[in-house]
Amino acid sequence: MNPSKQSRNAAAKAAAAKTRLEVSIDFPQEGDVVRPGHYAVRVGAAGAGQAQVRVASGEWFDCREAAGYFWYDWTPAPQDGPIRLAARARIGKGRWAAAIERACVVVG
């Protein structure tokens, strides 16, 4: 590889390392009560190209992007005790950055 290309690659890697992706579950908030039926989980991840949500340690589901946020259309059912939600996002094909998990309660 020529030196010019090596230096461009090194600069790109350094810039990517400086870009720290902040991911958060905006809604529901910790401890919120959610009703059964449709609920849109909102994930904040400015600059991300992809985000996913996981409910109760299950599988990861892709979110849709709209209005500057990522959204997961969830259909919760009443549960005994709180349900944990997790979210993650990434820029391009980079590493996943995780949000702090949230617990909410579904009552109906």
Q: Is the pLDDT of residue 8 over 90?
A: no
Predicted confidence at residue 16, as pLDDT, reads 44
User: Which CATH fold would you assign to the domain 22-106?
Assistant: Immunoglobulin-like (2.60.40)
What's the rounded mean pLDDT across residues 13-18?
A: 48
Residues 68-102 pLDDT 10s: 999 999 999 988 889 999 999 999 999 999 999 99
Q: Within a 10 A sphere around the Cβ of 2, how many other Cβ atoms?
A: 7
What DSSP character marks residue 91?
Answer: S
User: Could you tell me if 5 and 79 are in contact, meaning their C-beta atoms sit under 8 angstroms apart?
Assistant: no
Confidence of residue 5 (pLDDT cuts 50, 70, 90): low
User: Could you tell me if 85 and 54 are in contact, meaning their C-beta atoms sit under 8 angstroms apart?
Assistant: yes
Q: pTM, whole model, 2 decimals? A: 0.80
**Structural domain spans, the chain:** 22-106
H or E stretch covering 18: helix 3-18
Residue 108 and residue 82: Cα distance in Å, rounded?
A: 13
